[in-house]
C-alpha cells in the first residue's frame, strides 16, 4: 500500500524540478487534470494534460526568474487518495536575489493510480 503523504511530496518535488529545468512535459506530468489555479483574483482551469504552458508561468513569475524552491510543505489533511498541503515557495533570480515568497494551499490527488497536483490556491501572481 502506498503512503499518500510520501507520494504527494514526491509529486511536489517532481513539479519543482520540472519547473526549474523548464521542462513542460515533466511539469504537466506532475499534475492531474483538470487542474485549477486560484490566484490574483482569477480562477484558471487547465482541462487537459499538456494545457499547462511554462511560457505562461514564466510571464507571471517575475522579471529575471531563474528558479523556485519549496520553503515549507506542511500537511493539513491526508487521505488515501487526496492530500491537502500548506506550502510556501520562493522565486529567485540568477544572481541569487529574491523575487518573492508566496503562501499557497496545494491539493494533490490520486486519479487512476497517478498522483498529481490537482488544485492550488495561491497568493502569488
Q: What is the CATH number of the domain that holds 51?
A: 3.10.450.50
Per-residue pLDDT tens digits for 41-69: 899 999 999 999 999 999 888 889 999 99
* Strand 31-39 relative to strand 114-122, pairing: parallel
Domain span holding position 30: 4-122
Per-residue pLDDT tens digits for 9-22: 999 999 999 999 99
Domains of the chain: total: 1
- Pairwise CA distance, residues 45 & 17, whole Å: 22
Give the list of residues 6+ apart from residue 22 with CB closer than 8 angstroms, or none.
54, 58
Residue 50: phi and psi, rounded to 5, are 100, -15
High-pLDDT (> 90) share of the chain, % = 86
**Banded model confidence at residue 1, pLDDT cuts 50, 70, 90:** low
Q: Is the dihedral of CA 74, 77, 83, 84 positive or negative?
A: negative
pLDDT at 125 over 90: no
Amino acid at each position: 500500500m502506498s503512503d499518500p503523504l510520501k507520494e504527494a511530496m514526491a509529486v511536489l518535488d517532481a513539479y519543482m524540478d520540472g519547473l526549474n529545468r523548464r521542462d513542460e512535459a515533466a511539469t504537466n506530468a506532475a499534475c492531474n487534470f483538470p487542474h485549477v489555479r486560484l490566484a490574483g483574483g482569477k480562477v484558471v482551469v487547465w482541462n487537459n494534460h499538456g494545457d499547462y504552458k511554462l511560457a505562461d508561468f514564466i510571464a507571471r513569475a517575475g522579471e529575471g526568474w531563474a528558479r523556485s524552491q519549496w520553503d515549507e510543505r506542511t500537511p493539513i489533511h491526508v487521505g488515501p487518495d487526496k492530500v491537502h498541503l500548506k506550502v510556501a515557495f520562493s522565486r529567485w533570480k540568477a544572481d541569487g536575489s529574491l523575487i518573492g515568497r508566496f503562501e499557497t494551499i496545494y491539493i494533490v490527488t490520486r486519479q487512476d493510480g497517478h498522483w498529481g497536483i490537482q488544485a492550488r490556491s495561491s497568493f502569488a501572481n
